[in-house]
Chain A
Amino acid sequence: MHEDNSIMTTQINETTRYFDYLAQGYAIREDLPSAYREVWNKIAHAGNWWRGEQRVAIAKEVRVARQCKLCSTRKSALSPYAVEGRHDSASDLSSTAVDAIHRLATDASRLTRDWLVNLNQQGLSQEEYVELLGIVVAVLSIDAFHRSMGFALETLPAPFAGVTSQYRPDSARDGEAWVPGIQAKLAVGKEAGLYEGSKQVPGVIMAMSLVPDSVRMQTCLSGVMYLKIDDIADFSKNGDRKISRTQMELLAARVSSLSDCFY
């Protein structure tokens, strides 16, 4: 892990051992760094709608957003829409993409459907948005784990060359969320196994399904940081953690409340 926890990437090949907690003297159950490594690897490669270099740039912007002056001013304003300006940015991503990343990373509870429609009108497609969101939340979450454990942030991965697949699942339908998704019963064919066979799929998982690989990235993290999909609705399960299910749910509920999140 790199001492400078800002925005560095590193030119190392695919065998680079990221999240090597043991080498740093921390004994952490292995499934966590293993999942984090998998996510880092996914971020570094071309996705459905963003190339590897763009995906790593999105990750970099998540970290920049924490120090962005415009984001800080907007966050303290009565309405984020009352404050104009330019984000502090460290990438060549479009200003629309940068705004999406910074708002998601710093002020998500005040986002509106109109905001997203406006992004779409400015050229950021729904598919691009969902893939971008998946990267933002993965980096936010892994960084948050590091901060709360007192670890330096992991160096971001070096991107790999490759082309986007432009894959959009036919089974994605408009629903109640702002973006289309795949219902559990429609997760067949290429999407069979997307929800690990579960029929009780949490909305937050389904919400990412316009880009199925984003679902896979979220379930990879969720399975080790919280619970596997099938265990979520079984309140007797705690994933063999060292805290009880009630303690887990207390933490979850307090995070939601502090984040002003109704969900």
Chain B
Amino acid sequence: MLRASTAIEGSEVDLQVVTSGRSTAGGLPAEAELVSFVEAALGDDTDAISATRNILREKLGAEALVDAAAVIANFQRVVVIADGTGLPLDKPIALITVGIREELGIDEYGSARHTPKLGFFMRMIGLGLNMVLPMIVKRMVK
């Protein structure tokens, strides 16, 4: 989803930020502040939450802060539904994300066991699709 949205908006995101929290590119507006806010929000340190919230509000404004907090809270719900129902990735998504998942090490997550591993040929097809994903997404939106 992140990769697809960058293709549409033409923004640059170093996908390593998803797993490491650190980005070498930092091309997205307020990227570091957004990531810091997520990391604080998922913890128990209220001082950290307060500090990162204030920084994000200064950077993007009060309304954007509310939208960010809502998205974070929404996905805290989504991940528990996925884990609580043993939900595998949808097949097309599993296919086109195989390269990204391998690159970021996401296949090592415990809940990856819910999604069957792709066979050799499907993996090759997935890697090929991965390269043309931005074009596919742009065409879908048009």
**A residues touching B (Cβ–Cβ < 8 Å)?**
27-29, 32, 104-105, 108-113, 116, 130, 133, 136-138, 140-142, 144-145, 147-150, 176-179, 202-204, 207-208, 218, 221-222, 224-226, 233-236, 241-263
State A22–B70 Cα separation when bound (angstroms): 17
| Other-chain residue from B17, B19, B83 in contact with A109 (beta carbon distance below 8 A) | B83
Q: Determine how close the nearest CB of chain B comes to the CB of A63; give it in whole angstroms.
A: 14
Residues of B within 8 A of A148 (CB): 37, 40-41, 49, 53, 69, 72-73
Taking CB atoms and an 8 Å cut-off, the chain B residues in 16-70 that contact chain A are: 17-19, 21, 28-31, 34-35, 37-42, 46, 49-50, 53, 60-70
Cα–Cα distance between A179 and B85 once the two chains are bound (Å): 6
B71 proximal to A (CB < 8 A):
yes
Closest residue of A by beta carbon distance from B12: A246
Q: Identify which of A224, A253, A263 contacts B111 (C-beta below 8 A).
A: A263
Structural contact, B41 and A144, CB atoms closer than 8 A: yes
Closest-CB distance, A216 to chain B (whole angstroms): 14
Contacts of A261 in B (CB 8 A): 79, 82-83, 109, 111
A32-B66, A261-B79, A263-B79 given; A255·B35 CB < 8 A: no
Q: 0/1 per residue, B100-135, Cβ < 8 Å to A?
A: 000000110111101100000000000000000000
**Is B141 within 8 A of A236, CB to CB?**
yes
Interface residue SS majority, chain B: helix
Contacts of A251 in B (CB 8 A): 34, 38, 68, 71-72, 75
Interchain CB contact under 8 A, A235 and B8: yes
Within 8 Å by CB of A246, from B11, B35, B76, lies B11
Say which residue of B5, B28, B74, B83 sits within 8 Å of A111 (CB atoms). Answer: B83
Known A245-B5, A247-B34, A250-B31; judge A141-B89 contact (CB<8 A): no
Cβ of B119 to closest chain A Cβ, rounded Å: 17
Q: Which residue of A lies closest to B27 (CB)?
A: A246
Q: Is the beta-carbon distance between B9 and A245 smaller than 8 angstroms?
A: yes
Enumerate chain A residues within 8 angstroms of B17, measured Cβ to Cβ. 250, 254
What residues of chain A lie closer than 8 Å to B69, measured between beta carbons?
A: 145, 148-149
B31 contact set on A, CB distance < 8 A: 247, 250
Return A200 CB to nearest CB of chain B, in Å: 9
Report the minimum CB–CB distance from A229 to chain B (whole Å): 13
**Using Cβ atoms and an 8 Å threshold, which residues of chain B touch A241?**
64, 67
Q: Is the CB of A225 within 8 A of B74?
A: yes
Pair A235/B66 contact, Cβ less than 8 Å: no
Contacts of A105 in B (CB 8 A): 80
Q: In the complex the two chains form, what is the Cα distance from A222 to B2 in whole Å?
A: 18
CB distance from A150 to the nearest CB of B (A): 6
Q: How far is the CA of A233 from the CA of B38 in the complex (A)?
A: 23
Given A111-B83, A203-B82; A246-B2 close (CB under 8 Å): yes
